[in-house]
A and B are shown apart, each in its own frame.
Chain A
Amino acid sequence: MSSLYDVIPPAPPKGVSTRRTTINVNGTSQTLDVEPRLLLADLLRQALQLTGTHKGCDTSNCGACTVLFDGRPAKSCTMLAVQADGHSVETVEGLANASELHPIQEGFKQEHGLQCGYCTPGMMMTAKALLERNPDPTEDEVRWALSGNLCRCTGYQNIVKSVLWAAKKMREQDQEA
């Protein structure tokens, strides 16, 4: 992606009208003045430096930029940052802190669910939304839920295995709790 397309500065030039926007990002409230045309993905990546959210296609096809918007997966390149005012956004950085892994991240490690890793944050956020709704999905249900996330490396096999691994782990944790 040419950097030319990525240089909408989070602080717009003088004379451009902005909108005060307060977003709960990974549990922390953030208030920024943003230009209406700033995309949510760019707000996360540039203004908040949360670069775990990837921009893959810029055409709403690939799902690499998937975040959870009020708990449901959304393509952050296909939302305006101003739309998130008063809402909560969870990115891959919100899954776990640096010293531990979320079961979904652990699953991707155990089952080798990534190669280049570009699609991985989006895959994990979509998987999180799936497992919240359906803690015990079938392989078909996992494939269906991930059908909006493209991966050009793995052939999906290990990604599906990773999500099923995480589902099992999370069910076990729930039983212990």
Chain B
Amino acid sequence: MYPSRFDYDSPATLEEAIAILDEGGGEAKVMAGGQSLIPMLRLRFASPERVVDINGIPNLEYHRIDPDGTLRIGALCRHEDLEFSTIIADTFPTLAGAAHLVSDPIIRTRGTFVGSLCHADPQGDWSATMIALGGKIVVQGPQGRREIEAKDFVLGPFVTAMAFNEIAVEAVVPPAKGKALGGYLKLERRVGDFATASVAVALDMDGDTVTRAGCAMAGVGGQTIDANEAISVLQGKTLSVENIEAAAVAVAAVADPRTDHRGSSDYKRHIVETFVNRVLTSVANSEKKVAVA
């Protein structure tokens, strides 16, 4: 189907884009990669009066690691930039694990990391990784910039904590306390489908001891489920078989899956438990658990 008519702007600066949003009074919509927005326009789930295309704004394509270890991902960093990134493979394995599982390879050339967070789909992959990693989203509006914790960013399906005149300009992931380990596992019926269930696990480790544990899930609730508290049973502990099992059970207990065409509630909960177990076991068996001084 064809989108409803809309006006189109391609501003050259963030300030200009924000001014257009401000003027639009909630009827203007930002487009980055457009890989979720354009399908929604076509299905007329969304019919904004104005589309503000930010692809012409320079210097937003980056992803980089600051000297202190903080990862910064700009608003126009595409999924495939992270998939083929040489800098996140060792330093942010949770993100690296998800990068090649987001939608399909063609969508990944256009779709953006930050745009995916803003789309706030309950089954989105990146929201889960950001919550597990304790990340933040930097948003800019007429009043300047502010940071929103990833766990507070999404208020409900397709609804974020951003005001109508704000643009998400950057995602920020804090440096690991020790060595960053973890991963992302996703069950999908076919490439490009949404997650039947997926789990993001992010661990900071000092030798054999877990200094911070983070976890979030997609596809098993009305929105991305923050399981950071559940997995905190690992805090200060080693990844023994018993501790791993306890963490997997604790995480599965906070999943809230519904029975649908992708599987029964019990099945999805079982997948969550299995995935947490699998990521933690692979971390326990890896030889990379060397503390960074």
Interface residues of chain A, those whose CB is within 8 Å of chain B, are 5, 8, 16-17, 19, 35-37, 39, 58-61, 63, 66, 69, 72-75, 78-80, 82-83, 85, 126, 144-149
Contacts and interface: CB of A to CB of B under 8 A. Distances in A.
A8 to B, nearest CB: 6
A72 B53 CA distance: 19
A37 B5 contact: yes
Nearest to A8: B2
Given A59-B39, A147-B191, A72 B8 contact: no
22 contacts: A36-B51, A37-B3, A37-B4, A39-B42, A58-B42, A59-B43, A60-B35, A60-B39, A72-B109, A74-B110, A75-B107, A78-B107, A79-B34, A80-B34, A80-B38, A80-B51, A126-B105, A144-B105, A147-B191, A147-B192, A148-B104, A149-B106
B130 to A, nearest CB: 24
Nearest to A143: B191
Contacts of A61: 192
Given A66-B106, A82-B8, A83-B53, 19 more contacts: A36-B6, A37-B3, A37-B4, A37-B5, A37-B6, A37-B41, A39-B38, A58-B42, A59-B43, A78-B34, A78-B107, A79-B110, A82-B53, A83-B10, A83-B55, A126-B105, A126-B106, A145-B105, A149-B106
Contacts of A17: 7
A78 B39 contact: yes
5 pairs of A and B residues whose beta carbons are closest in the complex: A148-B104, A36-B8, A148-B106, A147-B191, A72-B109
Nearest to B105: A148
A80 B8 contact: yes
Chain A residues touching B, majority SS:
mixed
Contacts of B293: none
Interface of B: 1-8, 10, 34-35, 38-39, 41-43, 51, 53, 55, 80, 103-107, 109-110, 191-192
B38 A19 contact: no
Contacts of B39: 59-60, 78
A58 B1 contact: yes
A37 B8 CA distance: 9
A75 B2 contact: no
